[in-house]
Amino acid sequence: MYGKDLISIADLSAENVQGIFDLALKLKANPEDYCDSLTGLTMAMIFEKPSLRTRVSFEAGMTQLGGHAIYLGPSDISLGKRESVPDIARTLDRMVDIIMARTFSHQSILTLAEYAEAPVINALSDLLHPCQALADYLTIMEKKEQLRGLKLAFVGDGNNVAHSLMNCGAKTGVSVTVVCPKGYEPNAGIVKAAQEAGKALGAKMAVTNDIDEGVKGADVIYTDVWASMGQEKEAEERKKIFAPYQVNAALMAKAKEDAIFLHCLPAHRGEEVTDEVIESEQSVVFDEAENRLHAQKAAILRLMFAEGDLD
């Protein structure tokens, strides 16, 4: 990973992904061992969308590693409007050591990576959310003590989170089934690529509209909001369409008895998930949120240092 970008988990090897998890666990257990790793280094954080977990985890992570992060909100940078994305990338490249961006358009991420020599991290685009998936699988690994052979059922919209969950499942041996209403399936190209990549570790990727079929035998139930940022006008219509796919006690009972519940947050309680589920002992959503910090710190270090230099 050293010197490259983190745009999609599909671009990483299975060894890269496991390396991030292994380092994240070391960082989590002994953060003081890495507190000077990024001394003198700066991250530019570009935000087109508001955030709690993404901003705090990256900014706190850089601080904990001895570096510095600069927040650049929509009023500071209007990607492609006030200034072109290539010009922004080339300007930042002269001033900072790593760039993180949370955008609407996935193309903006790709363009930043094309024009900046510094590593670029996709902190969310409308197509992918790799940082979230890394934290998710780190959490699953902690709770289940393994990854390969597990089944994850993502219930809801086939969105950017679903895409990255499939990509990460393919690299870790976790089978992923996206359970969604008709017309809200994930990107067919991403599904096909994940199916092909998953063969190496026996991970099967599937999409179904059938809730019973989709969640049967699941070790992990995962959901997300029904209307993502930028889809607010569709929210009321989506509530009607997605209502049968609410993660409630009855749906959880269709999965394995020891299944855990994940949600990338923020949650719209009473819509995609009930209070009963998100507050249950099966819910690990706040451990999952914390792991954004540890997984991202590990990813940053893997991008900034050759493995031997870091260890």
Q: The whole model's pTM is what?
A: 0.96
Residues 147-192 have pLDDT tens digits of: 999 999 999 999 999 999 999 999 999 999 999 999 999 999 999 9
Using pLDDT thresholds of 50, 70 and 90, give the confidence band for residue 253. Answer: very high
Choice between 202 and 231, residue whose per-residue pLDDT is larger: 202
Model confidence pLDDT, tens digit, residues 100-112: 999 999 999 999 9
270-283 pLDDT, tens digit each:
999 999 999 999 99
In this prediction, residue 229 carries a pLDDT of 64
38 Cβ contact list (under 8 Å, min separation 6): 62, 65, 66, 67, 300, 301, 304
Pairing outcome for strands 220-223 and 205-208: unpaired
Choose the weakest-confidence range: 27-36, 80-89, 212-221, 236-245: 80-89
Active-site annotation, residues: 102, 129, 132, 224, 264, 292
E strand intervals along the chain? 42-47, 68-72, 98-102, 120-124, 151-155, 175-179, 205-208, 220-223, 260-263
Q: Domains in the chain, ordered, with CATH? A: 9-129+292-310 (3.40.50.1370), 132-288 (3.40.50.1370)
> Residue 186's pLDDT is what?
98
